Amino acid sequence: MARHHRTAAILSIGDEITLGQKLDTNSKWLADQLTTLGITVSIKMTVPDDLAALAARFKELAETHDLVLSTGGLGPTADDLTRLALAKAIGDEVVEDAEALSQLLAWFDGVGRKMPEANRVQAMRPQSATCLSNAKGTAPGLHAVVDGADVFCMPGPPREMQPMFERFVVPVLRTDRVVLTRVLPTVGLGESAIADRLGELMDRDRNPLVGTTASASIVTCRIRYEGDDTAEGERRLDETVELVRGKIGDIVFADRDVPLAEVVLDRLRERRQTIATVESCTGGLVGEMLTEIPSSSDAYIGGWVTYTNAMKTSQVGVHPDVFEKHGAVSEECCRAMATGGRERSGSDYAISVTGIAGPGGGSAEKPVGTVWIGLASPSGVRAERFRFNGDREMIRQRSATAALAMLWKAIKEPRA
């Protein structure tokens, strides 16, 4: 058994993953858990149901890591080879585990069925391994020591694997390292512009380490301390967070991993104010993002998808002349949509979006990606022109995020 568990490898087993039929969510979940525990996941591997290859990987990973966690391949069918592969990697015989067998029989008894003969193989284990009982299914897990590394084999279904990890793996993990992280989500600047601002704060050899990940228009700044002293780590994290905020504080909208829509709704709730939406090119996406957050109805009262000009006129009162004179994608139309939405819904704020998401509908003057975003508030109405890059989906995503960002900027300060 490893004195300390510093490095870990995660092995996902099964044709359904290498054939691309199934998305592997177990390795993300396990990596997240191990990282939080201060154990570095230095590799994840996914291999098909092939006995020789599987045994070779168990051996290779055990030789190069303190901890190996596998998921999958513990079922009752012929292509479930994890038990045999582990035995082969150890050089063990496979034996039947009496305790596991009785638990298996009890499990089927519990669901009022006779155990199919095929399931009996699930009670088999390598001679030197121990079985880990499965509270949620038939497949017992396995624990063995291979080349001094702790190897745990767990079933594939997350609802069986996760409790097994918490009950049998976590208690035996020993780490002498402290890993602490902070997360600062931002909106309004791209990853490279943020990197320019952060400069040497992003040096790879810095501790805490500062990195960024981008998704649509949200760039999340991640700060990670790795060392052996929790107090020291927290102190350094606070210090680095301050330095980062000094560079990009104006675009940081939270101090944890949280959607922009949730921050906007929380702020509105604090201010006892409400928001309505009037969407054209985003077609309901802004409303969808807001209502994705539980109990959003405290602050979001609803809105309109005014996709045609007729709907813009009949539902939020955009005067037909506006389309004549300026077109539907114009500052005038955008302002009228926001104003009409605020008046007709009785909300404190209304955001409006009108633009050209493409692929068609663009012109030299108003190319695809041209989007007007408006905000009507107690202090008046304003609209801003954006030019987004990307395909239809990306333009819509960026437009909706920009709309939430415009509202966020208007309400981020406590109410006067």
360 in contact with its own copies (CB under 8 A): yes
**Shorter beta-carbon distance to its own copies: residue 1 or 193:** 193
Closest CB 149 distance from its own copies, rounded Å = 18
Amino acid letter, residue 397:
Q
Residue 208 near residue 237 (C-beta atoms within 8 A): yes
390 in contact with its own copies (CB under 8 A): yes
Judged by CB under 8 A, the stretch of 26-34, 83-91, 140-148, 235-243 that binds its own copies is 26-34
193 CB neighbour count, 10 Å cutoff: 13
105 in contact with its own copies (CB under 8 A): no
193 in contact with its own copies (CB under 8 A): yes
207 in contact with its own copies (CB under 8 A): no
Q: How far apart are CA 349 and CA 381, in angstroms?
A: 9
Q: Which residue do the tokens 């390598």 mark?
A: 126
Residue 45 near residue 12 (C-beta atoms within 8 A): yes
Helix 309-316 × helix 331-345 angle, to 10°: 40
Give the three-state DSSP class for 256.
Answer: coil
Q: Binder to its own copies among 103, 134, 138, 186 (CB under 8 A)?
A: 138
Closest CB 171 distance from its own copies, rounded Å = 20
Q: Binder to its own copies among 3, 23, 171, 256 (CB under 8 A)?
A: 23
| Residue 212-241 contact track with its own copies, rule CB under 8 A, x = bound | xxx-------x-x-----------------
**Shorter beta-carbon distance to its own copies: residue 93 or 117:** 117
Judged by CB under 8 A, the stretch of 133-141, 244-252, 375-383, 404-412 that binds its own copies is 133-141
Closest CB 283 distance from its own copies, rounded Å = 3
Closest CB 199 distance from its own copies, rounded Å = 10
Q: Tell me the two tokens of residue 142.
A: 């396995």
Q: How far apart are CA 89 and CA 40, in angstroms?
A: 23
204 in contact with its own copies (CB under 8 A): yes
Closest CB 84 distance from its own copies, rounded Å = 12
For residue 75, the Cα-to-chain-centroid distance in whole angstroms is 29
Closest CB 116 distance from its own copies, rounded Å = 4
Q: What DSSP string describes 83-103? A: HHHHHHHHTPPEEE-HHHHHH
Size of the site for its own copies (CB under 8 A): 110
391 in contact with its own copies (CB under 8 A): yes
Q: How far apart are CA 323 and CA 363, in angstroms?
A: 16
Q: How far apart are CA 253 and CA 217, in angstroms?
A: 13
**Shorter beta-carbon distance to its own copies: residue 143 or 224:** 224
Residues within window 264-323 making contact with its own copies, judged by CB under 8 A: 277, 279, 281-288, 290-292, 294-297, 300-308, 310-311, 314-315
Residue 407 near residue 352 (C-beta atoms within 8 A): no
Residue 370 near residue 355 (C-beta atoms within 8 A): yes
Phi, psi of 69 (to 5 degrees): -115, 125
Residues within window 40-79 making contact with its own copies, judged by CB under 8 A: 41-50, 53, 75-79
177 Cβ partners below 8 Å, 6+ apart?
6, 38, 39, 226, 227, 228
**Shorter beta-carbon distance to its own copies: residue 94 or 305:** 305
